[in-house]
Structures are given as C-alpha cells and as structure tokens.
Amino acid sequence: MKTLLIVTALIEVGASLALLCCPSATVALLLGSRLDTPVAVTLGRLAGAALLALGVACWLAKHDGQSVVARGLVSGMVLYNLGAVVILGLAGIRSDSAGVGLWPVVVLHVAMTVWCVASLLDKAKGGGK
C-alpha cells in the first residue's frame, strides 16, 4: 500500500498545483473549454486545494500503510477515483470539444481505482506486507 500512497500523493499534488496556479488552463486541457467566470475559477482552485489535501494525506500515510487509517484513506480514494471516471467520462461523451488530456486522465483514474480496490482486497486477505 506504501507505493500506492506515494504514487497517489505525487499525482494529486501535481494536479492540485496545476488547478491552484492555472485553473482555467488546466480545465481547458481536460474539458476543452476555459473557465470564464470568477466563480468558476474559484471552484477550480477549491478543487485544487482539495486535491492538495488528499495528496498530503497520502504522503503522510505512506509510512503507516498497514494502518486502519491508511485503509480508510484508500477507501476514500476509491470513491474519488471512481467519481472522477464517471464525471469526466460523461463529460467526454457528451461534449464535442473534450480537451487533449481528458481521456488519458480518465484512464489514469480507472487504473488508480483498480489499484486501490486490489490493494484493499489484498489487505483484507492478509497480504500487503
């Protein structure tokens, strides 16, 4: 579980910095459209702050990957990654102008969902040491 937590931390901190610094450009890479109102930019930055919190939590939990807290964190990541797949996937299917980064990000979230579930199942079977 340690490697999963480290990889998640790196991915989410990277995404968070992009959203915090350049929310409109980041969203344009994903969805093919810039954020055009101050409210939308604020929500993009709020998403960046949330991803930063997730990344920091994963980074701090990496040394205690066998704990109940780490298992809870990975369970939450399953919900987040699965939600990202559904929300971004539907946006891509419904939109004529998906950004170049959309489908790679959807595939990344699918892979992370599978990895999180596999890690939880392995831990439940007594593995993951």
Domain limits, the chain: 2-124
Matching residue, tokens 């919900």: 79
pLDDT range class, residue 23, cuts 50, 70, 90: very high
Q: What are the C-alpha distances in Å from 115 to residues 6, 61, 121?
A: 13, 17, 10
Which parts of the chain fold into alpha helices (H)?
A: 2-21, 23-31, 38-61, 68-94, 102-124
Pair 18, 26: CB distance under 8 Å: yes
Matching residue, tokens 């780490």: 70
What pLDDT is stored for residue 127 in this prediction?
Answer: 61
Query: What 3-state class would DSSP assign to 22?
Result: coil
pLDDT in tens, 73-114: 999 999 999 999 999 999 999 988 789 999 999 999 999 999
pLDDT in tens, 52-81: 999 999 999 999 878 899 999 999 999 999
Nearest Cα to 29, choosing from 98, 81, 99, 89? 99
